Chains A and B, each alone.
Chain A
Amino acid sequence: MERTEDFTCPRCGNSDPDGIGIGPTGKPYCRICLQYDGREAPAFTPSGQRIQLSLTYPLSPAQRTVSNQVLAAVTKGQPVLIKAVTGAGKTELVYAAMEHFLSRGLAVGFATPRKDVVIELEPRIHEAFPMATITSVYGEHTQVLSADIIVLTTHQLYRYPNYFDLLILDEIDAFPYAGNQVLKHFFRRSVKGVYILLSATPSQTDLEELEKDKGAVITLDIRYHGQPLPVPQIRLYGPFGKLDIIACLRDFLSAGKPCFVFAPTISRVRRLADLLRLFCPGGASVDSQDPDRERKIADFKAGKLSYLVCTAVLERGVTVRDLQVIVADADHPIYDAAALIQIAGRAGRKSGYEDGEVIFFCHREEPWVKEAVSTIEETNHHAAMQSVPKKI
């Protein structure tokens, strides 16, 4: 029998003996990447169309500058991390680089950790590149694996070893990609050419790893519409805790504004939704275990629901007009500053409705709550100081 200590998984690079089992024949096998078994994509063949970018709306001046910087870097083969505030229009920043690769018949991928984001992103990218074939790949949706542009979740990257000439990875700090060594390994394995990372709140390790690859960090501090980010208000609970949330939510609803209420855990989401239903009709609860989740989100966007009580599943990628945000228990330890900044970034994204309200309810002011608020204030300050974004 071989020793499990000496075994390294050839597929995911795992060498932790805890994640290695002994198979029926006495040979060691990796238990970490077992769930990633499936069809691998066939070799890339470009569709041969002449692919051109056709945006129906103009880029803001700040976006255009950053977009050109990104294009210049990736054509040199240098990886890029774009650090842009929430609602800056991160996706549009990479279109120029995508066009550059697509027009040369090279493989382009757009990966993100969240399934909901993939579903929302696919039509948007198709709109920008109407001539290109595009496919989305995520759990239970893996029929078509190859196209000019592949939009996929990070969990599906194992199907594309050494495949992408340009791979864009959105929301690098999001669960489940953040801190998952297996997914990180699959990401590195699937990049053949150059990669672009997008994030609003990159962690220190992300920056260090980029440093090793001699990558460039490009920042964009202004939102698409040029207005500052809404600064969250911290409110301490009064003696009757939940009443404050109800009062606050009723204010928003009577003004006719849709609202997200974030709660830390699934059970708390369901309890809070039950309570709020008594006082504010027309809402629903959304969490990752909910089979109706996609329908409820669609209903909310269509205006059929007036508010959603949700876990952090909706913390990214969702854009709703004139949205207000309430975070119940922002002092819960599952949140960190990055998550709170993302949540605060839901508000005021659409032009014409730039001033959303964000309210953090806490029992006490924990350091990460204060850090989130001060980071947003700092970013706004930066944006005000420099009208044109500067390369660090």
Chain B
Amino acid sequence: MRLCRACLKRYEAGTIFHFFDMECPLCNTCLRQIDHRVHFRVADGIRCLCLGYYEGKMKDYLIRYKESLDYELRTIFLYPYATLLSLIFAGCLAVWAPSSPARIKERGFDHMEGIASNLNLERCAALTKPDGTEQKEMGRQGRLAISDRITLNPGVDIAGRRILLLDDVVSTGATLAGCHRALLSAGARSIFTICLMDNDEEHSKKHF
């Protein structure tokens, strides 16, 4: 009997995922909750690959991971794409959209670093953003203002590197644009962007 990391229940391995992957973190029921609507989206001029939409059970799990600080959940968000992405982007440097230092201290961990650690790639906490910039309550204007304040950490050398940029949720794309600016000005050769969940207004209008 294996233990599901998300619903904490014991289960009998029953899908092809469990057959090939002894470390599969999810049970049969939770595997079905994964949003497989992988699509490209252009947000704020940045083309990013979204692995699903910001809704349903996976949204609840992301909130439980980020807000309730359930650190064990870090493995489920890139599942089952982590292996494939590690192969496709072999040689790239994995960089993630930053949280503010105060927020990281409050949580006790950087939630994006936890998610990026599932990739078998070289990782670097290259970016930082100043304190007092919580995005949730802000409108579009506020978000645009923050994106200018994302900067490269001192002592990080990414000149000529190919970058895989990760973020959890993309709404307006302002953060991603800010990250791109900072990375490009530091001399990154190319940047490919992946978001776990797409919080697109148009999409939510279409469905409700």
Contacts and interface: CB of A to CB of B under 8 A. Distances in A.
Contact of B72 (A21, A32, A37): A21
A31 B72 contact: yes
A16 to B, nearest CB: 9
Nearest to A37: B68
Interface in B60-77: 64, 68-72
Contacts of B108: 23-25
Interface string B101-138: 00000001100001000000000000000000000000
A317 B64 CA distance: 31
Interface string B149-172: 000000000000000000000000
Contact of A34 (B3, B10, B68, B114): B68
Instruction: Give the contact-size bracket for chain B.
Output: 10 to 19
B191 to A, nearest CB: 27
B64 A19 contact: no
Interface string B1-42: 001000010100000000000000000000000000000000
A205 interface: no
B8 A32 contact: yes
A23 B71 contact: yes
A41 interface: no
Interface in A16-50: 18-19, 21-25, 29, 31-32, 34-35, 37
A58 B108 CA distance: 58
B68 A35 contact: yes
B8 A22 contact: no
A35 B114 CA distance: 20
Contacts of A24: 71, 108-109, 114
Contacts of B68: 34-35, 37
Instruction: Give the contact-size bracket for chain A.
Output: 10 to 19
A34 B70 contact: yes
Interface in B69-91: 69-72
Contacts of A37: 68
Contacts of A29: 71
Given A23-B71, A25-B108, A31-B70, A18 B8 contact: yes
Contact of B3 (A18, A32, A35): A18
Given A31-B8, A32-B8, A22 B69 contact: no
Nearest to B69: A34
A101 to B, nearest CB: 35
B120 to A, nearest CB: 20
Nearest to A24: B109
A19 B8 contact: yes
Given A23-B71, A24-B108, A34 B8 contact: no
A31 B68 CA distance: 9
B147 to A, nearest CB: 27
A282 B8 CA distance: 42
A35 B69 CA distance: 10
Contacts of A35: 64, 68
A19 B114 CA distance: 20
A34 B64 contact: yes
8 contacts: A21-B70, A22-B71, A22-B72, A23-B71, A24-B109, A24-B114, A29-B71, A34-B70
Q: Which 10 A-B pairs have the closest CB atoms?
A: A21-B72, A24-B109, A34-B68, A23-B71, A24-B71, A34-B70, A18-B3, A24-B108, A19-B8, A31-B70
Given A21-B72, A23-B108, A34-B69, 20 more contacts: A18-B3, A18-B10, A19-B8, A21-B70, A22-B71, A22-B72, A23-B109, A24-B71, A24-B109, A25-B108, A29-B71, A31-B8, A31-B70, A31-B72, A32-B8, A34-B64, A34-B68, A34-B70, A35-B64, A35-B68
Interface of B: 3, 8, 10, 64, 68-72, 108-109, 114
